[in-house]
A and B are shown apart, each in its own frame.
Chain A
Amino acid sequence: MSVLRAALSVALILLAAPGHAHHSAAIYESDKLLTLTGKVREFQWTNPHCWIQVTVAGGAGNEEWSVEMGAPLQLYQAGWKPATLKPGDEVTVVVRPARDGSHGGLFISATGKDGATLGRKP
């Protein structure tokens, strides 16, 4: 390998912080938790991430929150299925809120209307 080629190889090596499923979790608060209680508007069983859209009653009316989860593989492992949440379901979700103050969060745990934890493990 020539010196130039070696230098190019080094330049191409960007030691990012690879979180799981395609990007890091740096956009979410690392040590703050927020509890959202509302109704499911949509449950997106998709790659690279699943999302729960939750409508929460706010001061100025209803707010829609986007809750990011892992990939379908991780959810399925934990006992979740595409029909675990349906539009209109009452749900309480604990999240790590987005650092930028937007209505987004990273999923920590969820309970249904009866207070039972959804899935086999949080």
Chain B
Amino acid sequence: MNARGALAAVFAVSMLATCGASAQPKQADRVAAFARLPNWTGFWIAESRDDLGLSGRPPPGAPQNRGVIRGDAAPYTKEWAAKVEQQRKNNTGTAKECGFPFPFVMENPWVFQFLLTPEETVLLWGGREVRHVYTDGRRHPKPDELWPTPWGDSVGHWEGQTLVVDTIAVQPSRFPPSLSEQAHFTERLRMVGNDRFEDELTIEDPLAFTKPWTITIPYERVTDLDRMVHGLCDENDRNPVVDGKLTIAPAQH
């Protein structure tokens, strides 16, 4: 081996040592990052939705729509409130849904669960809605790479055992609260007991609201479910809308 060859060999060995040294701590760092994550395993449901029972609906006499996310106390501008009221009057009650959008999904009737990794936290609902909250330090995409979607774009960071989430680019939907595309959402997700969880949600909307609106949505642990069971929209939809009214279709035996 000449001098140049010896130098190359030394360089190669040193590179291997360097790579090996840097790869090992990275893996260890990730394991340590996992260890710092809170334990949010199990299934959860919004407290306002825990009495649906076998009909999938609130018990007789109970209001159909409960919960703070409805927006009854939202600080709508006078103009926006008038439009909301008119839309309520125009509601025919025949609308069907196929997936609840954000922020309504945070207080919808489906059971949900969290999957936590150092890089992202994923929220999964029985209705197959999914939210990805990236916690790897990234920012929201650039404006020309971002477009409104039902669940928007979420980035987050951990403050101790609390996940702070920032969400933008949420499509306006027919689900309450009534918001514009300019709505900006900040959430603080955390456990508040062994079997209780909460989402403190602040919504800022320069078009719909006169001021930021903060609500806290409480959740409770679901203890009678051993696995996620997902829903589907159209496997056996027997409630067609006929002449502007929901009906019951006969069974196809």
Contact = CB atoms under 8 A, between A and B. Distances in A.
B95 interface: yes
Contact of A42 (B230, B235, B247, B253): B253
Contact of B95 (A18, A69, A76, A122): A18
A60 interface: no
Contact of A78 (B53, B173, B238, B245): B53
B39 interface: no
B233 A22 contact: yes
Q: How large is the interface on B (under 10, 10 to 19, 20 to 34, 35 or more residues)?
A: 35 or more
B174 A12 contact: yes
B110 A73 contact: yes
B174 A73 contact: no
Given A18-B65, A47-B232, A48-B233, A70 B54 contact: yes
Interface in A31-45: 31, 33, 41-42, 44
Contacts of A6: 180, 207
B160 interface: no
A21 B180 contact: no
A66 B250 contact: yes
B111 interface: yes
A121 B52 contact: no
Contacts of B96: 22-23
Interface residues of A, number: 61
Contact of A48 (B61, B65, B179, B231): B231
Contacts of A19: 56-57, 64
Contacts of B52: 20, 70, 74
Contacts of A74: 52-54, 56
A17 B224 contact: no
Interface of B: 49, 52-57, 60-61, 64-65, 80, 83-84, 87-88, 90-91, 93-98, 100, 104, 109-111, 126, 172-176, 178-182, 207, 222, 224-225, 229-239, 245-248, 250-251, 253
Interface of A: 1, 5-6, 9-10, 12-27, 30-31, 33, 41-42, 44, 46-49, 51, 53, 64, 66, 68-80, 96, 98, 100, 102, 104, 106-109, 119-122
List 5 A-B pairs, minimum CB-CB distance, nearest first: A70-B56, A46-B236, A16-B95, A47-B232, A14-B174
